[in-house]
Amino acid sequence: MVAKVVTVTSGKGGVGKTTTTANVAVALAALGQKVVCIDADIGLRNLDVVLGLENRIVYDLVDVVEGRCRLRQAMIRDKRLPELYLIPAAQTRDKNAISPSDMNRLCEELRPEVDWILIDSPAGIERGFRNALAPADIVLVVTNPEVSAVRDADRIIGIVEAEEKGPVRLVLNRVNPNLTRRGDMLNADDVLELLAVELIGIVPEDEHVIISTNKGQPVALDGKSRAGLAFQNIARRLMGENVPFLSLEDSDGFLRRLTRLFRSGGTTG
């Protein structure tokens, strides 16, 4: 096995990096892949609670880097899936506790052991982000269809390209179909045109995400919710499968086309 390292990042906080990391990890593991996810958000760890593994932490990422434990000892196995592991962040340290070369070394050690290494990056463009970016083979940039998240995503994409990392794949998270339909939310085409990157997933806003996070059971564990299905599709696309994008507008496709028709007839341009 030679793992691919996928770094999940966004620039802006609160757009769904950790949710995306947890769910894509779960979905990949459900496809029979051996997955390790690493929480690189030192000092503000959260991947453990989103995955529901917070009570099983003994050692963390900084313990590994500083040699207080072996890599294996810091890998918490998620018992719901055959081969999913979490290396949690340290909570009482800061981003400077590790360096980009520490992350490279850690991933080199893990690479032969697993299929996928998912790194949950902290928000921002500073040290923590640089740590998470260093070993990346693929960079998933998570954004929401709103101005500040898109602007920050653009900044991140610029840095990733300047560092010659990547390829970059975009996850458009928290898409509200009603607002999009009304023309009060940027749609996927708008965002892709602005950012000029390749899309890997469109995740609808879905209350199941909040409910499942409350319970520590990522939505992708069962594919019944739309968000869960969207995350499963991202995992399948990472595996190289050609999965059509979820249509968020199938319920009113006809009306939308009708509106367009009226508009193009009624106004110039």
Partner 1 sequence: MSNWLEQLLGNKTKSADQAKERLKLVLIHDRTDLSPALLDNLKNELLAVISKHVEIDPGAVVINLTQDGREQRLVADIPIKSARRPRSG
Is residue 10 a contact point for partner 1 (CB under 8 A)? Answer: no
Query: Does residue 155 touch partner 1 according to CB under 8 A?
Result: yes
**Those residues with Cβ within 8 angstroms of residue 48's Cβ, 6 or more apart along the chain or in another chain:** 39, 54, 57, 76, 86, 88
Does 154 bind partner 1 (CB under 8 A)? Our answer is yes
How many H-runs (helices) and E-runs (strands) does the chain carry? 12, 8
Alpha-carbon gap, residue 143 to 174, rounded angstroms: 8
What's the closest the beta carbon of residue 262 comes to partner 1, in angstroms?
Answer: 6
Strands in 116-120's sheet, in edge-to-edge order, are 76-77, 84-87, 35-39, 116-120, 4-9, 138-143, 168-175, 198-204
Do 46 and 33 contact (CB within 8 A), yes or no? Answer: no
Q: Measured from the CB atom, is 137 or 154 closer to partner 1? A: 154
Return the number of the residue (240 or 269) whose C-beta is nearest partner 1: 269
* Cα–Cα dist 185/182, whole Å: 8
**Distance between CA atoms of residues 238 and 232, nearest Å:** 10
**CB of residue 149 vs partner 1: minimum separation in angstroms?**
10
Q: Stretches 3-11, 68-76, 80-88, 154-162: which one binds partner 1 (CB under 8 A)? A: 154-162
Residue 230 Cβ, how far from partner 1 at the closest point, in Å?
21
Residue 207 found at the interface with partner 1 (CB under 8 A): no
Q: Does 190 bind partner 1 (CB under 8 A)?
A: yes
Separation CA 253–CA 194 (nearest Å): 24
Q: Considering only residues 215-254, where is the footprint of partner 1 by CB under 8 A?
A: none
Interaction mask 108-147, partner 1, x per CB under 8 A: --------------------------------------xx
126-142: buried (b, 16+ CB within 10 Å) or exposed (e) per residue?
A: ebbbbbbbbbbbbbbbb
Q: Which is nearer to partner 1, 149 or 221 (CB)?
A: 149
- CA distances in angstroms from 246 to 15, 66, 203, 221, listed in the order given: 20, 44, 8, 18
Nearest approach, Cβ of residue 108 and partner 1 (Å):
30
Q: Does 77 bind partner 1 (CB under 8 A)?
A: no
> Shortest Cβ distance from residue 245 to partner 1 (Å)?
19
Does residue number 188 form part of the binding site for partner 1 (CB under 8 A)?
Answer: no
Judged by CB under 8 A, does residue 269 bind partner 1? Answer: no
d(CA 99, CA 55) in angstroms, rounded, equals: 27
* From candidates 4, 105, 127, 151, binder to partner 1 by CB under 8 A: 151
Q: What letter does residue 250 receive in the DSSP assignment? A: G
How many whole angstroms separate alpha carbon 87 and alpha carbon 78?
11
**Which residues of this protein are in contact with partner 1, per CB under 8 A?**
146-147, 150-151, 154-155, 157-158, 161, 180, 182-187, 190, 193-197, 258-259, 262-263, 266-267
